[in-house]
Amino acid sequence: MTKLAANGMKPASGKSSVLKKTSKRSSQPNEPGAAVLRYKGSKHFRQRVVCSVLSGRAIRIDDIRPFPTTTDYQEEVQMGIMGHEAAFLRLVDKLTNGTQVEINETGTTLRFKPGYVTGGRESHDCGTSRSLGWFIEGLLPLALFSKTPFNLTLSGITNDDVDLSVDALKAVTLPLLKHFGVAEEGGLELKVKRRGAPPGGGGLVEFRCPIVRELKPIDFTEPGLIKRIRGNAYCTKVSPQIANRVAESSRGLLNRLLPDVWVHTDHHAGRTGGESPGFALSLVAESTTGVLLVAETAADKGTLPEDLGNFGSKLILEEIKNGGCVDSSHQSLAMLLMVLCPEDVSRLRIGKLTRYSVTYLRHLRDFFGAYFRLKPDPQTSTVLVSCQGIGFKNLSRGAT
């Protein structure tokens, strides 16, 4: 079924004229109710693929990095679809049935016709260009609307400074799903078997997710008061003392506000430590109404543990200051799930609307025709987000 044609990494500058042509053709705007959605540019790749699978609408993305550029990580020239994007497509392809993926020679154009999410037991190497959080975050909504429950073994980077880490996913993202009536009987879990820090990776996680028939609309507008802060400072292939130093320094600022701060330390060595040394901190603030806010940071080259801890605590304070019932990293996921609810109104209070959420909102409009009401609340400088679900049902699931 699947044609995963080419993962174009070749710098082929001669083709640019051809590409121009295709881009002209694709500059047709998306008409309301058009069958195939057309996009341009490399941004928001994951959003588009995920929305496409959920909505069943084919997409075509042109001009994916049409001109060669260099990146920070690798010194080689990058053009077209990148490693993690190809890996994500392969993973989606593994977990679906009937997906058609076509990528042109240079990797700058993608045609994606979604199939049915089948799920099941799969293992996948996610590479080292993006962390596992990027993959799992994208897969979560697909996992809910699958034919069989997901049981994935993914390998790659578990913690980095770009995406959500596995700790944050475990502590905040999965509990967020429970608000939507997911996994009331359990079955939703993320097990970290091995840690993997960038650039080498080598982490291994097990991800299980149950399926749902339909979601439950939410009314999640009371942020409550922060009652405790929990954290996880992990280190791998470095001195175990580093994690302690991170934990210790992260408490300094927070203890001025709240005594109930507890940061776990998690040291990995040997096989469970992955390929590269590294350490990171993720902090979770929990409120009286069950709100969970996460902030996290990972060490770069030459970062002092004390600085990292301090920085992490500032980040969580920033999140708390922004307020809202979900933190800035989880706005988009919550909004997607709100759209996928039955035809009832869901409400959510968020802090500042991030730029990622804004593009997500536009994609939700394109794919699902869903508009949100965004009501700023100047008193608390939060935003009340509400929408009517589109009556989404799990079409992949079999009935008896």
Partner 1 sequence: MSDALSLTKDAKKPHRTSKSGAKANKKKEKGGKVERHNPRAFSVSKIGKTRKTQQRNLDRAQRKEVVPQVDRAEEVPPPVMVVVMGPRGSGKTTLIRSLIKLYTGHNLKESTGPITVVSGKNRRITFQECPDDLCGMVDLAKVADLVLLVVDGSFGFEMETFEFLNILQVHGFPKVMCVLTHLDRFDNVKALRATKKKLKTRFWTEVYNGAKVFGMGGEINGKYPKTEVRNIALYLSRTKFRPLRWRNTHPYVVVDRYEDITYPQKVLEDPTCDREVAVFGYVRGTHLKAGQRVHVIGAGDFGMAEVSALQDPCPLPTKEKVANRSLNKKESQLYAPLANIGSVVIDQDAMYIDIGRANYTRKENLLLEDGAAEAAGGGGGSGSEEEEEDDGDDEYEEGGGGDFDAKDSSRLLRELQDVRSAVDEKMGASELKLFGGRKGGRKGVSGEEASMAAARAAAAAAAEEEEADDGGDGSEEESSEDEDEGEESSGEEESSEESSEEGSDGSSDGGAMSVDEDEGNGVKKRKNIKMPREERVAASPGGSGGGRTRRRALFDDDDVTGRGEDGRDEEDDSDGSMSEDDDDVDENGGVSQAWKSGMATRAAERFLQRKSQNVNLQDLVYGRPGRGGQDNAAKEGEDSASEEEGGDQEQDDDFFTIRGGGNKGSKRRGHSSSGGGDAESEDDDDDEDGGGGVGGGDRSKFYPDREALDDWEGTGDDCAIEAIRNKFVTGDWGSGAGANGAGGGGAGDGDDGDGDDDDSEVYGDFEDLQTGDKFGPGAEDSDDSDDDDDGDEENGMETEREKNARLKAEAMASKDEGEEGDEDEEGGGGGGEKKKRLDANGEEIEDDDEFLREATKRREDQQTRNRKEFEDMGDAAQLRIRGFPQGRYVRIRFKALPAEFVTNFRPENPVIVGGLMAAEEGLAMVRTRAKRHRWHGKTLKSNDPLVVSAGWRRFQTQPVFATEDPNERQRYLKYTPEHMHCFCYFYGPIIPQNTGIMAFQSMGNTATGFRVALTGTALELDAKFEVVKKLKLVGYPDKIFKKTAFIKGMFNSDLECWSGSTSLRLGGSSCSVILTPCYVG
Residues 78-137 that bind partner 1 (CB under 8 A): 78, 82, 84, 97-98, 115-116, 118, 129-130, 134, 137
Task: For residues 178 and 127, give the distance between their C-alpha atoms in angstroms, rounded to a whole number.
Answer: 30
Q: What span, in angstroms and rounded, lies between the C-alpha atoms of 379 and 372?
A: 21
65 binds partner 1 (CB under 8 A): yes
Q: Which position among 152, 315, 337, 348 is part of the footprint of partner 1 (CB under 8 A)?
A: 315
Which 267-286 residues touch partner 1, going by CB under 8 A?
none
CA angle 74, 49, 343 (to 5 degrees): 145
Helix ranges (H only) for 145-292 are: 166-168, 174-178, 240-254
CB-based contacts of 81: which residues, under 8 Å, 6+ apart? 7, 8, 42, 45, 64, 65, 89, 103, 107, 108, 110
Site for partner 1 in 214-243 (CB under 8 A): 217, 219, 221-227
Strand partners, 103: 110
Indicate which single residue of 176, 202, 328, 338 sits in contact with partner 1 (rule: CB under 8 A): 328
Closest distance of CB 205 from partner 1, Å: 18
CA distance 56 to 53: 5
Is 33 a binder of partner 1 (CB under 8 A)?
Answer: yes
Q: How far is the CB of 399 from partner 1 (least distance, A)?
A: 4
Tell me if 39 contacts partner 1 by CB under 8 A. Answer: yes
340 sits in the region (left: phi over 0; alpha: psi -120 to 50; else beta) called alpha
Phi, psi of 280 (to 5 degrees): -155, 165
CA distances from 187 to 148, 149, 191 (A): 12, 9, 12
Near partner 1 in 178-207, by CB under 8 A: none
390 contributes a contact to partner 1 by CB under 8 A: yes
197 neighbors 160 (Cβ within 8 angstroms)? yes
Binding residue for partner 1, selected from 123, 256, 271, 300, defined by CB under 8 A: 256
Q: How far is the CB of 295 from partner 1 (least distance, A)?
A: 9
Stretches 3-11, 233-241, 300-308, 389-397: which one binds partner 1 (CB under 8 A)?
A: 389-397
Candidate segments 10-18, 148-156, 189-197, 328-336, binder of partner 1 by CB under 8 A: 328-336
The binder of partner 1 chosen from 106, 158, 236, 388 (CB under 8 A)? 388
Q: Which of residues 141-180 bind partner 1 (CB under 8 A)?
A: 147, 162-164
* 8 A C-beta contact, residue 348 and residue 326: yes
The residue within the footprint of partner 1, chosen from 3, 191, 257, 271 (CB under 8 A), is 257
Using CB under 8 A as the binding rule, whether residue 355 contacts partner 1 is answered as: yes
User: In the complex with partner 1, which residue's Cβ is closer, 73 or 271?
Assistant: 73
- Is 235 or 291 the residue whose CB approaches partner 1 more closely? 291
In the complex, what is the shortest distance from the CB of residue 152 to partner 1, in angstroms, rounded to a whole number?
A: 19
**Which has the closest alpha carbon to 142: 384, 396, 398?**
396
Q: Cβ closer to partner 1: 270 or 398?
A: 398
> Residue 301 interacts with partner 1 (CB under 8 A)?
no
| Residue 362: CB atoms within 10 Å | 12
C-alpha to C-alpha distance for 338 and 260, rounded to whole angstroms = 32
- Please give the span between the terminal C-alpha atoms of the chain, in angstroms, as a whole number: 27
Q: How far apart are CA 149 and CA 281, in angstroms?
A: 31
Which span sits near partner 1 by CB under 8 A: 185-193, 274-282, 301-309, 386-394?
A: 386-394
Least CB distance from residue 48 to partner 1, whole Å?
9
Indicate which single residue of 14, 17, 29, 185 sits in contact with partner 1 (rule: CB under 8 A): 29
